[in-house]
Amino acid sequence: MPIQKNRYEMAKRIKDLPPYLFASIDRMKQEAIQKGVDIINLGVGDPDLPTPPAIVRRLQSAAGESKNHQYPSYEGLLKFRQAVARWYQRRFGVNLDPVSEVLTLIGSKEGIGHFPLAFLNPGDIALIPNPGYPVYHAGTLFAGGQSHFMPLLRENGFLPDLSRIPKGVLKKAKVLFLNYPNNPTSATADGSFFEQVVAFAKRNRLIVCHDAAYSEIFFDGHRPMSFLEVKGAKEIGIEFHSLSKTFNMTGWRIGFAVGNHKILGGLGKIKSNLDSGVFQAVQEAGIEAMESGDHLAEEIRKTYQERRDLMVSGLKRIGLEVEFPKATFYLWVAVPRGYHSAQFTALLLSKTGIVTTPGKGFGDSGEGYIRMALTVKRERLAEALRRMEQVL
């Protein structure tokens, strides 16, 4: 009897994944490009601006040093972690021990994706915002965990209503993922919400993973706070940060997690077995960004704020429902009556060549919205508005 098995059958954890959010948009986009359409891509949150030259120069000089050519340590150079701790103190007034309370990541996606492997056993539950960044759910599935989705609704300011999570779910829940400033809704959270979260996590013995990847993309002086600023937060949680959006460094792959040393220790154990850290020359450039980059981040914010003002005013003029976000470079635009989010995205692409992301791609509770990323130049945003004005 030949052995009955399919060599190419993928593992259940992969088959269980929802379709990758951008795959179908990419397909539609490619088709439009082949037809010669002049595409305006507001679909992906990848900054169009270059990394500031001072950061690039630091990489260039560090890349020439042979000591940086060997394996880095998985937890990151101590001097990078010290730079992070100093930045944290300066920006949030929170003290961190660079040795035990800071962990360097190969981009925050890496840390978020690996995190559930450290703390979820099969059957354990992770509480996940919906709509939300897809990696919280993917990481949970890969660890054999289950996701319980918390709807982020407009009437609650796109904050989860923790009181609606069933008792039975809370019994099995171990991890609570949060993300403010939020992708995709661009909502922000304040201290009183975070205080509620700390009390809730203590009561229900949860680990809080707060994803603050957009903490430095804020407007009108509304500086988002760190979750760790709240009393007791460091006992129960960690916070993910990224240099990707703050300094236009998405391609460099550097971020960090900070907070409770036992929780970071678990993530560190996974990392020490799976990866070999961030190229040290990139960490040197990261030090440049953390130590001397405040004015660079300010310039970048200014650019997004101008784009936000142009685009939100224009969309309102056209009659679309959208708020001026306090943070992130996303607009969460309500879909006009009579459309689903995917239909409206398809309409915009076919009639105007504008690529957007359907809210439903971020989870069922994202239905009724599309997300626009302000990662193209002002002239192109103005052109997008012109085209929409003609069609809508």
**Footprint of ligand PLP (CB under 6 A):** 45, 107-109, 133, 179, 183, 211, 213, 242, 244, 250, 255
Q: Which residue number, 278 or 348, has a Cβ lying nearer to ligand PLP?
A: 278
Supply the angle between the helices 378-391 and 294-318 in degrees, to the nearest 10.
10
Shortest gap between Cβ of 243 and ligand PLP (angstroms)?
A: 7
Which residues sit opposite 255 in a β-bridge?
105, 242
Q: Which residue number, 219 or 256, has a Cβ lying nearer to ligand PLP?
A: 256
State the residue for tokens 């001397």.
292
Shortest gap between Cβ of 309 and ligand PLP (angstroms)?
A: 22
Shortest gap between Cβ of 363 and ligand PLP (angstroms)?
A: 13
- Residue 307 has a CB neighbour count (10 Å cut-off) of 21
Q: Which residue number, 353 or 359, has a Cβ lying nearer to ligand PLP?
A: 359
Shortest gap between Cβ of 2 and ligand PLP (angstroms)?
A: 44
Shortest gap between Cβ of 65 and ligand PLP (angstroms)?
A: 25
Shortest gap between Cβ of 334 and ligand PLP (angstroms)?
A: 21
Q: Are strands 173-179 and 125-130 parallel, antiparallel or unpaired?
A: parallel
What's the CA gap between 47 and 251, in Å, rounded?
10
Contact predicate 364/132, CB 8 Å: no
Q: Which residue number, 98 or 255, has a Cβ lying nearer to ligand PLP?
A: 255
> What amino acid is encoded at 183 in this protein?
N
Q: Which residue number, 45 or 277, has a Cβ lying nearer to ligand PLP?
A: 45
Contact predicate 238/108, CB 8 Å: no
Q: Which residue number, 181 or 314, has a Cβ lying nearer to ligand PLP?
A: 181
* 190 Cβ neighbours under 8 A, 6+ residues apart: 225
Shortest gap between Cβ of 64 and ligand PLP (angstroms)?
A: 26
Q: Which residue number, 243 or 385, has a Cβ lying nearer to ligand PLP?
A: 243
Structure tokens belonging to residue 134 = 């897809």
- DSSP letters for 318-362: HT-B----SBSSEEEEEPPTT--HHHHHHHHHHHH-EE-EEGGGG
Per-residue DSSP letter, 376: S
